[in-house]
Amino acid sequence: MAILSGLARIGRDAELRATAGDSVANVSLAFSYGRKVDGKRPTQWVDASIWGKRAEAIVPYLLKGAQIAVTLNDVHIETYQGKNGEAFKLVGNITEIELAGGGQSQSAQAAKPARPAPKRDEFDDDIPF
């Protein structure tokens, strides 16, 4: 059983779906590695899953572009039928996840109301400190 751990970026918003007995969120992760070539680091894409109540709770925060610290177990190569014949992808199950920042959509940022500054006359001048 292979384990993969590190910082990754989310490639698209996570998708939550229900299975026969549990919820599962599918997450597309991009891990950068190695030395830069032509100004860019190579990227390894991994299709990851997170299960159960954890998936339901965290999926609203797993947005495209967000950076996460993640540990995957049962990492393996799956074969599937692609456009040009047989293709391969790396997949795994998320066992640990921590949000590291970024990726918040502009609509989510705009939805937060701006907190107005208090007016000067709202302060009580009789407070001794």
Give the chain's mean pLDDT: 83
CATH number at residue 58: 2.40.50.140
Tell me whether residue 126 is in a domain.
Answer: no
* Residue closest to 100 by CA, chosen among 126, 62, 55, 57: 62
**pLDDT for position 129:** 36
Tell me whether residue 57 is in a domain.
Answer: yes
Tell me whether residue 125 is in a domain.
Answer: no
**Among 4-13, 79-88, 114-123, which stretch is predicted with the lowest mean pLDDT?**
114-123
Tell me whether residue 81 is in a domain.
Answer: yes
Distances (CA, A) of 117 to 7, 108, 125: 37, 22, 18
What the block records as the tokens of 94 is 């998320």
Per-residue confidence band for 104, with pLDDT thresholds at 50, 70 and 90: low
Tell me whether residue 113 is in a domain.
Answer: no
- Which helix H or strand E contains 88, and what residues bound it? strand 85-101
Tell me whether residue 120 is in a domain.
Answer: no
Of residues 111 and 66, the one with the higher pLDDT is 66
Residue 112 pLDDT greater than 70, yes or no: no
**Among 4-13, 19-28, 45-54, 96-105, which stretch is predicted with the lowest mean pLDDT?**
96-105
Tell me whether residue 107 is in a domain.
Answer: no
Which residue in this structure is represented by tokens 């293709």?
87
User: What is the residue range of 21's domain?
Assistant: 2-101
Tell me whether residue 83 is in a domain.
Answer: yes
pTM: 0.72
User: What confidence tens digit (pLDDT) does each residue in 52-83 have?
Assistant: 999 999 999 999 999 999 999 999 999 999 89
Provide the domain count of the chain.
Answer: 1
Of residues 24 and 19, the one with the higher pLDDT is 24
